[in-house]
Amino acid sequence: MPEKTAVDSQNSKVADTPVPATVEPETGNGTGKARSLWSDAWHDLRRSPLFLASSLLIVMLVTMAVFPSLFADGSPTEADLANNYLKPPNWSHIMQPDWFGYDIQGRSVWTRMVYGARASILVGVLVTLIVTAVGSVLGMLAGYFGGIWDTLLSRLTDIFFGIPFLLGAMVILTTFDKRTVWVVILAISFLGWTTIARVARGAVISVKQADYVVAAKALGASTSRILLRHILPNALAPIIVVATISLGGYIGAEATLSFLGVGLSEPVVSWGVDVSRGFQSIRNAPYVLIMPSVLVSITVLSFLMFGDAVRNALDPKLR
């Protein structure tokens, strides 16, 4: 009896203890509502000087590629060899054809830099989209199904990883007599999907063990629905980070291949073509080589900075 009385007394004290109100998790946005990973990342990106500076440069470069006539007058192929042969830069006028001088054929360096942004950025963007799509699909299939599929796709990725990127692209491009923009895009994409595939495979392997994926399987959801509705959205963050960082590298790869004479060529106007042509007059007129080279470096740096900012925002460990 005394033991029963002590237990009843203890239960009475617990019952009379006031229950505290539910405390909502601290989110930092003042609304009391939990934020998702993407809204949390956007919240950080808006306050990142690195993201704002790189975004401003990228918007300016994309605008230059889409609307080149806003930045330069005249045609990039218009040549006046008699009057403008290696004519030096003239800084007395702003945004004029003679601002950065003229090349060995009497063409405006500034005008060709502006119009060359279209081909160079187009190559970088389309290659990034293609390798992201191909790499994500192969990586998701390998990571989700595992077993023999994982082995086959992983070994295929290793084979392509063993091919030197620039050397392999050079070999592929030399087999074509006419190297257009699409030929260069497909050649780079053929060798550039491996990194995305490995990242996607690792992300899917970590996500497919989650409770919501197990629950979807138990409820009889189809494989395509599980991959597209449950796994892909939660494995997308690292894929986006790698894709944004790689975009600048693909622009640099196009410029490198064109400089080596196996990428884009005349009459296509691109930064790589101008760098290759400018090398011929590096002693007499170094500005013909330096100006487009600086613009390539600024573009690559902008996308690298953008990718770093996105990585810092999407990686909870870095936050």
Each residue of 207-235: pLDDT tens digit? 888 888 888 888 888 888 888 888 888 88
pLDDT of residue 25: 45
pLDDT tens figures, 57-111:
999 999 999 999 888 888 888 888 877 788 888 776 665 667 788 888 888 888 8
Helices (DSSP H) in 105-260: which residue ranges?
A: 109-145, 147-161, 165-173, 181-192, 194-207, 211-218, 223-225, 232-259
φ and ψ at residue 298, rounded to 5 degrees: -65, -40
Residue 89 lies in a domain: no
Tokens 């999407």 correspond to what residue?
314
- The region of weakest confidence among 11-20, 40-49, 151-160 is 11-20
Does residue 113 or residue 31 have the better pLDDT?
A: 113
- pLDDT recorded at residue 92: 66
How far apart CA 127 and CA 120 sit, in angstroms, is 11
DSSP-derived letter for residue 70 is: G
Whether residue 169 lies inside any domain: the answer is: yes
Q: Which domain holds residue 310?
A: 58-82+101-314
* pLDDT band at 7; cut points 50, 70, 90: very low
Question: Domain for residue 1, yes or no?
Answer: no
Question: pLDDT class for 3, splitting at 50, 70, 90?
Answer: very low
How many angstroms separate the CA atoms of 70 and 285, rounded?
Answer: 27
- The whole-angstrom separation of Cα 68 and Cα 70 is 5
CATH number, residue 196: 1.10.3720.10
Q: Is residue 121 part of a domain?
A: yes
Answering whether pTM is above 0.85, one says: no
Mean pLDDT estimate for the chain:
83
Total structural domains within the chain = 1
Q: Each residue of 124-174: pLDDT tens digit?
A: 999 999 999 999 999 999 998 888 999 999 999 999 988 999 899 999 999
Instruction: Give the rounded percent of residues in the chain with a pLDDT score beyond 70.
Output: 85
Residue 239 lies in a domain: yes
Return the minimum-mean-pLDDT range out of 37-51, 173-187, 261-275, 298-312.
Answer: 37-51
Question: Does 234 map to a domain?
Answer: yes
Three-state secondary structure string covering 165-196: HHHHHHHHHCCCCCCCHHHHHHHHHHHHCHHH
> Any alpha helices (H) in 17-48, and if so which ranges?
37-45
Per-residue model confidence (pLDDT) at position 91: 72
Q: 52: which 2 tokens?
A: 């704002």
Count of beta carbons in the 10 Å neighbourhood of residue 65: 20
Asked if residue 274 is part of any domain, the answer here is yes
User: 121 pLDDT band (50/70/90 cuts)?
Assistant: very high
In a domain, 119, yes or no: yes
State mean pLDDT over 11-19: 44
